[in-house]
Amino acid sequence: MAGGQACLRELEVKAEAVGPDGSLEERSRGSSALPVGFLAPADEEQCRRTRRQYRQLMDSVQQRRDATVSTAGQALAEALEEADALFEGVSRTREAALDARFLVLASDLGCAKARQLNCDLNVFNLAAFWELLLAFAGLSWLEVVLEQGQGGDGAGLAFWDAMQREATAWVAQAETFHFLLGPLRLESPARQERPRKAPKVEGGPAMPTELARLELGARQEATEQQVERTLGLLQAYFRQCLGLPVSYFEFVVDPHSFARTVENMFHVSFIIRDGFARMRLDQDGLPVLEPVDPSQMGEDEPSTYGRKQEVIALTLQDWEDIVATFKISQAMITSSS
């Protein structure tokens, strides 16, 4: 509104150029010259007075917000007329900014005032409608109340007689009565009681869940059977090789299963620990296995040999390298399953 007009005035000025005689020449983009009064310096006192009046107007509108928003009052229109009168003295941006602030405030108040409008399009006054029907039938509220107080139904019959006479004038045959979902009084449905839940029977104290016992003995027996089976395979391969030691890696490594390889190393460690086999290094520095003759175990006690404990670390990459280096294609320790 007013603020936009002030900004347009400032944008229309417009370029200052110094003439040959040192004077300033004012030119606008839309016209060849501007009025001399428009280029005159603004009166500071007048501008200060205009700003004060704008602030007083906005404070007054804020304090009387309820009266301004009321649909019956004209306070908002009067405030807009006062702002239009103040805008006549606006010549600088500061006053135009205050005018723009008032415009925003007036817009908010106008929006709030519009929301309070009530067209009453969806309101149906049942009492007023019933009064019109009684007046049409030539009855009044007093007659109906007195008739109902005496226990009679003459007023109701008179009303329906009047409705019948009016209806027969418009239709050849009166419409039959049918159920309406309207202002008729309906009986509220009977409340159905929900069946109560049977109280829980308190039993004895709950027994804690018993954990299944681990069959350690069965697992130990299975391990012993695997160790004995591995020892039997070692002795059989040792006899096939005519008493030559068996390569440790070729004996324990399963080229098709890394897990089976680790399990075989585990079983071989029990054989060596119990003295049924020994491990040593051959001339190439590789570990080899050879079973111990049970008949010689009494003569050469294992205690006469220096026992040493070794930890063999085997990763998946090491297992793949061993299979490729030794060209192992078949496991010497076959699966028992």
pLDDT band at 31 (very low <50, low <70, confident <90, very high): very low
Tell whether the model's pLDDT for residue 112 goes beyond 80.
Answer: yes
The per-type count for the chain, helices as H runs and strands as E runs, is: 12, 5
The confidence score (pLDDT) of residue 158 equals 77
Q: Domain coordinates of the chain in residue numbers? A: 2-115, 126-168, 219-326
The answer to whether the beta carbons of residues 160 and 168 sit under 8 Å apart is no
The C-alpha atoms of residue 323 and residue 319 are separated, in whole angstroms, by 6
Q: What are phi and psi of 288, to 5 degrees?
A: -130, 155
Tell me what the pLDDT averaged over the chain comes to: 75
SS (H, E, C) 270-284: HHHHCCCEEEEECCC
Cα 336 vs. chain centroid, distance in angstroms? 56
Instruction: Tell which phi-psi region holds residue 335, choosing left (phi > 0), alpha (psi between -120 and 50) or beta.
Output: beta
SS3 152: coil
Tell whether the model's pLDDT for residue 319 goes beyond 90.
Answer: yes
The C-alpha atoms of residue 111 and residue 69 are separated, in whole angstroms, by 9
* Residue 280 CB neighbour total at 10 angstroms: 10
The confidence score (pLDDT) of residue 193 equals 83
Q: Taking every pair of C-alpha atoms in the chain, what is the biggest distance, in angstroms?
A: 139
Nearest Cα to Cα of residue 33 among 19, 52, 12: 12
Q: Which of 93-107, 203-217, 316-330 has the lowest mean pLDDT?
A: 203-217
The confidence score (pLDDT) of residue 47 equals 87
pLDDT band at 23 (very low <50, low <70, confident <90, very high): very low
Give pLDDT tens digits for 63-90.
888 777 776 678 888 888 888 888 888 8
The answer to whether the beta carbons of residues 302 and 294 sit under 8 Å apart is no
Whether the predicted model's global pTM rises above the 0.75 cut:
no
Average pLDDT of the segment spanning 38-58: 80
Average pLDDT of the segment spanning 18-42: 43
Beta bridge partners of 252: none
85: amino acid identity, one letter: A
Residue 147 sits at the vertex; the CA angle it makes with 143 and 149, to the nearest 5 degrees, is 120
302 CB-near residues (< 8 Å, 6+ apart): 275
The C-alpha atoms of residue 247 and residue 287 are separated, in whole angstroms, by 6
| CATH number among 1.10.10.580, 3.40.50.300, 3.40.190.10, 1.10.10.10, domain 219-326 | 1.10.10.580
Q: Which of 32-36, 88-92, 212-216, 310-314 has the lowest mean pLDDT?
A: 32-36
Tell whether the model's pLDDT for residue 28 goes beyond 50.
Answer: no
pLDDT band at 167 (very low <50, low <70, confident <90, very high): confident
More confident residue, 102 or 310: 102
The confidence score (pLDDT) of residue 324 equals 92
195 CB-near residues (< 8 Å, 6+ apart): none
* Residue 156 CB neighbour total at 10 angstroms: 13
The C-alpha atoms of residue 246 and residue 231 are separated, in whole angstroms, by 12
More confident residue, 326 or 243: 326
Give pLDDT tens digits for 249-302.
999 999 999 999 999 999 999 898 888 898 888 888 899 999 987 666 555 454
